[in-house]
């Protein structure tokens, strides 16, 4: 068999296995959350929206990824362990925590002796872009949910698909439930979703955007909205901001791109990074969960587009100015990192 | 030389006279009447310009058109075979600008030749700044600017802005902070471009230098223009065509809009 076909076959197997485990994880978390819900209510571990924000945020730190935490949030929401506002804030927290992972990788390089600007610039731009758009988006989305602006949204998997999913996965889930204690089922689900995302990552094609007409990207200045759409499109395929940022590397043999181009790209990526959570909400067959995720995506998209259309130049300056200030000295960097770890802990204690 | 009867047209004419030092230049004074209320002022302005330029230039014509300013200027530019359009940037403001667009931006974008847009007039033309993004079009702009600098005995600075940030730990960070001299010494893509620009200045016998700034492109051009006290900023009008036009940002229009200086837009 030619090498290329073998590669495609391997990726297809990874993709199918990833999809299988993703659906299995959702079913496991749905079942496990039912047992977990009374315990969560009794212990008051998640008490209010801010507390939920901190919970999702720290959860992403521990798992080193936001998507599994967002999927787990939907499981908890589906079993009424958390309410709509808490689910919304927890998913937000998972994304805010996930943006730290890009920075964390850079931080490891920094500890190995690399210069802060080399190791942290990209992660810092990504993190600050995410935070500065997600905080206003959080307020907008919270208002939308509180006022029921998107209550009419009802979109779930078709009944035929739902029946097929139940027919395939119910026996497996029931088997696991008989083997593991109720509370452990949710944790097993969380583990399986991490595995699923890992397999999906391996299934993704290695896009070479340089050959697709963007070869001069490091030199040229693209319109912010163009990069926003590109970031959104690429991330909707890769389902990960860090993966889609990694896809920018082949654009430049020298390993850098223009700041003017990368910031709107991250903004676009931050919208479609919720695609997997949206799919999970549809698999839950829960219209309210779907509405929460759509609210999340719409509010981030609206805030990003408003920034791009009204005050993009000032926003660019703000982000790069902050990056410059934080990476200027190890003292500034230490304070910032302390805030990164401290903020979700404080939120969790509220 | 276009006039709408405004003070900025006067500035433009005065500034253009610096560029028209060499004898033998043919000058057309062109006025566009958009509404009858302006007719008197425009005709008066053209007469004044004629009187001012007449002693130095024997071949001066006056033309008047009626209609939309940008469209009429473009029509005249297409048929007249001009080398340079000179106009003042009075600038529409607010809703008018939003609805009709800036006349100078529209002319710059579609004109078949280079254009000088003047917002304020310095005492004399001493310092010019040419902004280059690299490649052959950038060198074309430097060559054009060098010709003007040679004719006016102005000093010319060639500026390249690097706004790139590191994507990965493998990035060649040195380039992201290097000066023009360091980039040239290392023979990087930007360094080679700047060396070629210096060669052009030498060949044109123009006094000048090359500079690299790091930061956002528009901010750094603004910063250099402010700090360097330049009389004229030269930028290329390499407007993309087709799909690329929808994709690429228009730095030239931004420079025209933001900078309170005379901007010479070079057509490739």
Q: Using CA coordinates, name the residue in chain B closest to A225.
A: B247
Chain B partners of A117 at a C-beta cutoff of 8 Å?
Answer: 166, 173, 176-177
Q: Is the pLDDT of residue B145 over 50?
A: yes
Distance (Å) from the C-alpha of residue B25 to the closest C-alpha of chain A?
37
**Count of pairs with CB atoms under 8 A, one residue in A, one in B:** 88
Which residue in the set B133, B170, B246 is minimally distant from A219, CB to CB?
Answer: B133
Which residue in the set A114, A118, A260 is minimally distant from B163, CB to CB?
Answer: A260
The predicted model scores a pTM of 0.83
Q: Is the pLDDT of residue A161 over 90?
A: no
Query: What is the Cα–Cα distance from A21 to A48, expressed in whole angstroms?
Result: 31
Distance (Å) from the C-alpha of residue A257 to the closest C-alpha of chain B?
5
Distance (Å) from the C-alpha of residue A252 to the closest C-alpha of chain B?
9
% chain B with pLDDT above 70:
84
Both tokens assigned to A321 = 């100015």
Both tokens assigned to B130 = 């040419």
Closest CA to A52 of A17, A92, A15: A92
Q: Using CA coordinates, name the residue in chain B closest to A122.
A: B167
Chain A partners of B168 at a C-beta cutoff of 8 Å?
Answer: 122, 246, 249, 255
Distance (Å) from the C-alpha of residue A45 to the closest C-alpha of chain B?
38
The pLDDT assigned to A164 comes to 79
Are A313 and B218 inside 8 Å of each other by CB? yes
Q: Using CA coordinates, name the residue in chain A closest to B169.
A: A119
Query: What is the Cα–Cα distance from A144 to A88, expressed in whole angstroms?
Result: 11
Distance (Å) from the C-alpha of residue A310 to the closest C-alpha of chain B?
14
User: At CA B244, angle to CA B239 and CA B250, rounded to 5?
Assistant: 40
Out of A73-82, A200-209, B63-72, B174-183, pick the least confident.
A200-209
Residue B260's pLDDT band, with cuts at 50, 70 and 90, is confident
Are A219 and B217 inside 8 Å of each other by CB? no
Query: What is the Cα–Cα distance from A187 to A72, expressed in whole angstroms?
Result: 9
Query: What is the Cα–Cα distance from B113 to B144, expressed in whole angstroms?
Result: 12
Which residue in the set B133, B166, B249 is minimally distant from A121, CB to CB?
Answer: B166
% chain A with pLDDT above 90:
33
The pLDDT assigned to A30 comes to 78
Measured CB to CB, residues of chain A less than 8 Å from chain B are 106, 109, 114-115, 117-119, 121-122, 125, 218-224, 226, 245-246, 248-249, 252, 254-260, 262, 313, 316-317, 320
How high is the ipTM of this complex?
A: 0.79
Are B165 and A317 inside 8 Å of each other by CB? no
Residue B213's pLDDT band, with cuts at 50, 70 and 90, is very high
Which residue in the set A109, A224, A256 is minimally distant from B164, CB to CB?
Answer: A256
The pLDDT assigned to B140 comes to 93
3-class secondary structure per residue, chain B: CEECCCHHHHHHHHHHHHHCCCCCCCEEEEEEECCHHHHHHHHHHHHHHHHHHCCCCCCEEEEEEECCHHHHHHHHHHHHCCCEEEEECCCCCHHHHHHHCCHHHHHHHHCCCEEEEECCCCCCCCEEEEECCCHHHHHHHHHHHHHHHHHHCCEEEEEEEECEEECCCCCCHHHHCCCHHHHHHHCCHHHHHHHHHHHHHHHCCCCEEEEEEECCHHHHHHHHHHHHCCCEEEEECCCCCHHHHHHECCHHHHHHHHCCCEEEEECC
Residue B12's pLDDT band, with cuts at 50, 70 and 90, is confident
Are B166 and A256 inside 8 Å of each other by CB? yes
Q: Is the pLDDT of residue A102 over 80?
A: no
Are A122 and B168 inside 8 Å of each other by CB? yes
The pLDDT assigned to A303 comes to 97
Chain A partners of B177 at a C-beta cutoff of 8 Å?
Answer: 117
Residue A114's pLDDT band, with cuts at 50, 70 and 90, is low
Out of B114-128, B187-201, B223-237, pick the least confident.
B114-128
3-class secondary structure per residue, chain A: CCHHHHHHHHHHHHHHHHHHHHHHHHHHHHHHHHHHHHHHHHHCCCCCHHHHHHHHHHHHHHHCCCHHHHHHHHHHHHCCCCCHHHHHHHHHHHHHHHHHHHHHHHHHHHHCCCCHHHHHHHHHHHHHHHHHHHHHHHHHHHHHHHCCCCCCCCCCCCHHHHHHHHHHHHHHHHHHHHHCCHHHHHHHHHHHHHHHHHHHHHHCCCCCHHHHCCCCCCCCCECHHHHHHHHHHHHHHHCCHHHHHHCCHHHCCCCEEEHHHHHHHHHHHHHHCCHHHHHHHHHCCCHHHHHHHHHHHHHHHHHHHHHHHHCHHHHHHHHHHHHHHHHHCHHHHHHHHHHHHHHHHHHHHC
The pLDDT assigned to B156 comes to 96
Chain B partners of A308 at a C-beta cutoff of 8 Å?
Answer: none
Are A223 and B248 inside 8 Å of each other by CB? yes
Are B133 and A117 inside 8 Å of each other by CB? no
Measured CB to CB, residues of chain B less than 8 Å from chain A are 133-135, 163-173, 175-177, 215-219, 246-249, 251
Q: Is the pLDDT of residue A215 over 60?
A: no
Query: What is the Cα–Cα distance from A180 to A182, expressed in whole angstroms?
Result: 6
Q: Is the pLDDT of residue A28 over 90?
A: no
């Amino acid at each position: 068999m030619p090498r290329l076909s073998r590669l495609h076959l391997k990726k297809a197997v990874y993709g199918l296995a990833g999809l299988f485990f993703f659906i299995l994880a959702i079913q496991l978390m749905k079942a496990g959350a039912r047992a977990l819900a009374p315990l969560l209510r009794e212990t008051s571990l998640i008490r209010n929206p801010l507390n939920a924000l901190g919970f999702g945020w720290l959860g992403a730190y521990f798992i080193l990824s936001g998507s599994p935490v967002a999927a787990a949030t939907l499981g908890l929401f589906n079993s009424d362990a958390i309410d709509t506002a808490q689910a919304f804030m927890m998913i937000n927290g998972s994304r805010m925590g996930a943006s730290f992972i890009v920075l964390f990788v850079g931080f490891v390089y920094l500890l190995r002796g690399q210069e802060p600007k080399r190791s942290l610039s990209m992660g810092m731009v990504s993190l600050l872009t995410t935070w500065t758009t997600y905080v206003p988006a959080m307020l907008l989305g919270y208002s939308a949910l509180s006022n029921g602006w998107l209550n009419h949204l009802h979109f779930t998997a078709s009944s035929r698909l739902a029946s097929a999913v139940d027919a395939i996965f119910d026996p497996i889930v029931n088997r696991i439930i008989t083997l593991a204690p109720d509370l452990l089922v949710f944790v097993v689900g969380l583990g399986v979703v991490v595995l699923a995302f890992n397999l999906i990552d391996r299934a993704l094609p290695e896009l070479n955007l340089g050959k697709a007409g963007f070869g001069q990207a490091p030199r040229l200045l693209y319109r912010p909205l163009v990069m926003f759409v590109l970031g959104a499109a690429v991330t909707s395929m890769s389902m990960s901001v860090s993966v889609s940022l990694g896809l920018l590397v082949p654009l430049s043999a020298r390993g850098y791109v223009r700041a003017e181009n990368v910031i709107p790209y991250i903004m676009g990526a931050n919208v479609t990074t919720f695609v997997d959570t949206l799919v999970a909400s549809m698999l839950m067959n829960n219209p309210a969960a779907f509405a929460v995720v759509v609210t999340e995506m719409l509010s981030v998209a609206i805030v990003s587009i408003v920034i791009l259309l009204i005050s993009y130049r000032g926003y660019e300056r703000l982000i790069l100015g902050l990056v410059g200030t934080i990476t200027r000295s190890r003292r500034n960097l230490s304070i910032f990192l302390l805030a990164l770890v401290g903020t979700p802990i404080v939120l969790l204690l509220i | 030389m276009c006039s709408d009867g405004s003070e900025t047209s006067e500035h433009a004419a005065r500034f253009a006279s610096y560029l028209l030092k060499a004898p033998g230049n043919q000058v057309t004074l062109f006025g566009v009447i958009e509404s009858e209320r302006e007719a008197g002022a425009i005709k008066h302005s053209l007469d004044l310009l004629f009187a001012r330029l007449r002693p130095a230039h024997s071949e001066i014509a006056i033309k008047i058109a009626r209609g939309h300013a940008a469209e009429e200027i473009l029509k005249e530019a297409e048929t007249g075979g001009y080398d340079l359009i000179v106009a003042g940037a009075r600038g529409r403001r607010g809703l008018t600008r939003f609805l009709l667009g800036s006349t100078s931006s529209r002319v710059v974008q579609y004109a078949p030749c280079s254009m000088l847009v003047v917002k304020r007039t310095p005492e004399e033309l001493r310092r010019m700044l040419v902004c280059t993004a690299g490649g052959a079009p950038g060198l074309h702009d430097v060559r054009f600017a060098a010709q003007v600098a040679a004719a006016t005995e102005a000093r010319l600075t060639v500026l390249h802005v690097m706004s790139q940030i590191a994507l990965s730990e493998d990035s060649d960070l040195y380039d992201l902070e290097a000066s023009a001299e360091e980039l040239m010494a290392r023979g990087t893509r930007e360094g080679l471009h700047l060396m070629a620009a210096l060669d052009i200045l030498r060949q044109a016998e123009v006094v000048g230098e090359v500079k690299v700034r790091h930061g956002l492109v528009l901010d750094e051009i603004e910063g250099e223009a402010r700090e360097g006290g330049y009389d004229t900023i030269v930028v290329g009008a390499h407007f993309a065509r087709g799909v690329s036009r929808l994709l690429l940002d228009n730095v030239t229009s931004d420079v025209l809009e933001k900078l309170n200086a005379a901007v010479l837009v070079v057509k490739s």
